[in-house]
């Protein structure tokens, strides 16, 4: 679908909450004494793994289809997207919630649990190759053949506004947050969270967490998108954040609101963090969520300014294949 030029403000995030609050979960916030002792700070975990469809993506997807249904852009057919899994599940659920048919283009290598969930939420599943253009081409073909509108996973203002509702809930639970840690794939979540968080507390630090090879810090410091085109996918265990570049719509909000210092984590750190959360916090999280935990357990985190004491960590999802855990 074509997206008109749109400035995403705090008002859009508040409107998104009005659109979705009746259907989503207000997810809990957890603490863990062991990690507080390790870090010497108070760490608060926003558990989006308990969200509808098992990830934060439900927020943006539902807000987008709701806005579409209430506008002149109401699709004559339905909605389609290409997704590594979580956005696909979210769109399938959101479309079903508002009575809209949907199809999801997903890489063949995506976790089985994500594929099965997409079908269970009522969407038609279309498998494709692992390359970016494989997804785009198949998605465009499906949209044309089915007369469906394409809803991207990050590159849409209504998606970003929906993800920003995480920050509204987090500040209601923990008003004195000094920093937020958010894993970054396409950037829709961190863009929305940063818009809302900076409005509530202009002094808050919003830190991006990335897998090896994303070069996000280099891009943020230069103010330029230095990634190759078309977008590439990184060789990382964190399949939900394997896209190297960030979405065009998300980029300016990241550049304005996100710290230039980025936390980069490798596969070993992600797996160790995931095991820690499973064993010590008794929470099921996926690798993309474990990335933020790895960041706050890192040596880099220890070097943060001592004034940063209350730290919010987004556990973005919990969709794992329990028969194929990464250890």
DSSP state of 311: E
**Phi then psi for 314, rounded to 5 degrees?**
-90, 115
Q: Are 289 and 40 in contact (CB under 8 A)?
A: no
The rounded Cα 75 to chain-centroid distance in angstroms is: 25
Task: Report CA dihedral (105, 111, 112, 117) to the nearest 10 degrees.
Answer: -60
Q: Are 185 and 243 in contact (CB under 8 A)?
A: yes
**Which is catalytic among the residues 15, 46, 52, 57?**
57
Structure tokens at 249: 């719509």
Q: Angle at the Cα of 267 (from 266 to 269), degrees rounded to 5? A: 70
Angle between helices 86-98 and 112-120 (to 10 degrees): 10
* Alpha helices, H only, the chain: 10-20, 33-39, 57-69, 86-98, 112-120, 132-146, 157-163, 165-173, 188-200, 216-222, 251-257, 267-276, 287-296, 299-302
Long-range Cβ contact pairs of 23-31 (< 8 A, separation 24 or more): 23/52, 23/62, 23/97, 24/51, 24/52, 24/58, 24/59, 24/62, 25/50, 25/51, 25/52, 26/169, 27/51, 27/169, 29/170, 29/173, 29/174, 30/281, 30/283
> What are the beta bridge partners of residue 106?
127
Active site residue 260: no
Q: Are 192 and 160 in contact (CB under 8 A)?
A: yes
How many alpha carbons lie under 13 Å from residue 289 in its C-beta half-sphere?
Answer: 28
Active site residue 153: no
**Which is catalytic among the residues 79, 83, 84, 102?**
84
Q: Looking at the annotation, which residues are catalytic?
A: 57, 84
């Amino acid at each position: 679908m074509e997206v008109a030029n749109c400035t995403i403000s705090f008002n859009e995030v508040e409107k998104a909450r009005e659109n979705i609050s009746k259907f989503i979960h207000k997810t809990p916030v957890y603490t863990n004494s062991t990690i507080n002792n390790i870090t010497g700070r108070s760490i608060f975990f926003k558990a989006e793994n308990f969200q509808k469809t098992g990830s934060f993506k439900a927020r943006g997807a539902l807000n987008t289809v709701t806005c579409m249904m209430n506008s002149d852009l109401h699709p004559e057919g339905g909605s389609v997207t290409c997704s590594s899994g979580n956005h696909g599940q979210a769109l399938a659920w959101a479309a079903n919630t508002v009575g809209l048919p949907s199809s999801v283009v997903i890489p063949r290598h995506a976790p089985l649990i994500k594929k099965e969930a997409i079908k269970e939420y009522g969407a038609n599943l279309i498998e494709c190759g692992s390359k970016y253009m494989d997804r785009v081409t198949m998605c465009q073909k499906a949209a044309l053949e089915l007369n469906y509108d394409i809803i991207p996973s990050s590159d849409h203002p209504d998606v970003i506004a929906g993800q920003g509702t995480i920050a509204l809930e987090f500040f209601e639970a923990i008003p004195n947050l000094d920093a937020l840690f958010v894993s970054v794939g396409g950037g829709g979540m961190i863009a929305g969270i940063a818009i809302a968080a900076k409005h509530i507390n202009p002094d808050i630090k919003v830190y991006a967490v990335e897998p090896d090879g994303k070069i996000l810090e280099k891009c943020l410091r230069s103010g330029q998108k230095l990634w190759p085109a078309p977008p590439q996918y990184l060789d990382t265990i964190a399949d939900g954040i394997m896209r190297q570049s960030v979405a065009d719509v998300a980029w300016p909000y990241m550049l304005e609101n996100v710290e230039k210092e980025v936390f980069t984590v490798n596969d070993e750190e992600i797996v160790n963090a995931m095991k820690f959360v499973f064993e010590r916090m008794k929470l099921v999280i996926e690798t993309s969520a474990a990335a933020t935990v790895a960041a706050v357990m890192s040596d880099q985190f220890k070097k943060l300014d001592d004034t940063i004491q209350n730290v919010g960590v987004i556990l973005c999802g919990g969709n794992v294949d329990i028969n194929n855990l990464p250890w």
